[in-house]
Structure 1
């Protein structure tokens, strides 16, 4: 029985390695991703490859690798800093909130622990939970909830 020379096995190994991967995307799918501005990851999150980049951007899907980084204004860098008022539906002040540039929070003059959560800053004082949205373009999403009294309301910048 003849054995194959080592050179044959080396050539076979190189040929196997040089084979295209079975999981590579097709040219048509790559074109759809390019046209839509989606990535494989963002498509799994709802980005629609049948739409244009502009339509997907309007829906909130932006390919950060392809888009130039926006210049952040000083206010955007510190969206929470300042004085805030938690208001009831009747307009009465429920709490006064102060947040410094390092995101230290005081509710009615008392320090409370705060953490970033789901695009906002969340903190609690007693039975009242507060949440301030980080994206200042979104209006009406800053609010509070009192789990003890079952009430809620808006938080407004002072």
Structure 2
């Protein structure tokens, strides 16, 4: 049996792409893109109501995408009837009933996948991995802000 590799960019990347592929398969069954899923989840995290500018900003910061891509994603969700502009305040977006249902369905599927992927991993290993990945993320964010 070979020794477990030390955490590095390749190991992190392989884990990211493998888990992302599993999520993409779930999303394909719903007709939802990854960016749309992130926007729906972020809106749900804000009790179903969010400032459009804040949501687009969260998407650009988290996903490292251009503002135009975030705005296009929000327009797609509005066009699909999953988000709508708050009547009387177009600067805010709200989940529609269809958006809430889809977000719940994706959340349930994601929870099932997560349970399966992390099922027998020791809590202390998960905590250590969380600390390492949080530190690496913070350092990468700092490098990005340096220009």
Q: TM-score range by the shorter chain?
A: under 0.3
TM-score, with structure 1 as normaliser: 0.21
> Larger RCO: Structure 1 or Structure 2 (Cα < 8 Å, ≥ 6 residues apart)?
2
Higher strand share: 1
Task: Pick the structure with greater CA Rg.
Answer: 1
Higher helix share: 2
